[in-house]
Amino acid sequence: MAQRHSWLQNIGRACKKRLVVPILRSPHPAEYSARGVAIGTMWAMTPLVGIQMWLVSMTWIFYKKVLKKSFSLPLGLAFTWISNVFTLVPIYYVFYVTGQMMMGHWDSISGYSHLKDIIHQTFLFDLSFWEEWALFFKLLLKDWGIAMVVGCLPWMIIGYWLGTHLTMQILKDYAILREKRRLAKLQKHLEELHQ
């Protein structure tokens, strides 16, 4: 009988399967995977949900044609999903607060509930999917836009840096683990030969 997992365990298993395993199994150099994760994470840290995957694709073309380098496009695309339907509101709020602080507007930081109200009101009307999103982004640009654009910049840098360094560390640790396993297997084989 198959073991049943909680929804949280299923999400963790899916993330591992879709994000970690492709990093570990890539035949390319570590920098190739790390750059893909970094660029995907960088674009995920922008208030541009809906075009982030397109931006990763354009970045990939720029790297290929102009910089004569490359990165893992599938990993870059996958890591844009850090910002998704479930994380959109908290991420946008962090961008807003960061932007207000960077611009010195400490006294005009509105609460998290205000952003939730904007989103809730946007999706109450009987509008089509595209009309809802157009209204949502219009409200965000009018009320929160400049602060969010300014506030996402440090998060883009942090996302790129973390994407690069964490991926390189994961790959380094995995290489050490793989080498230990190989040496243990070789040691076992030598012991069997001596018996």
Percent of the chain with pLDDT strictly greater than 70: 84
Name residue 193's amino acid: L
Query: By C-alpha distance, which of 172, 176, 163 is closest to 30?
Result: 172
- The mean of the pLDDT values for the chain is 83
- Hey, CA dihedral for 9, 12, 16, 20, is it positive or negative? negative
The tens digit of pLDDT for each residue in 32-41 reads 999 999 999 9
| Strand, helix or coil for residue 48 | coil
Whether the predicted pLDDT of 59 surpasses 80: yes
Cβ pair 49, 33 in contact under 8 A: no
Region 2-27: mean pLDDT is 75
Whether the predicted pLDDT of 120 surpasses 70: no
**Hunting for tokens 């492709």 — which residue is that?**
22
**Domain range summary for the chain, segments of one domain joined by +:** 7-194
Q: How many CB atoms lie within 10 A of CB 170?
A: 17
Would you state the pLDDT for residue 28?
85
The model's confidence at residue 64, banded by pLDDT at 50, 70 and 90, is very high
* 138-to-21, 51, 78, 130, 144 alpha-carbon distances in Å: 39, 16, 27, 12, 10
Cβ pair 60, 71 in contact under 8 A: yes
Would you state the pLDDT for residue 35?
94
What does the alpha-carbon distance between residue 73 and residue 33 come to, in Å, rounded to a whole number? 9
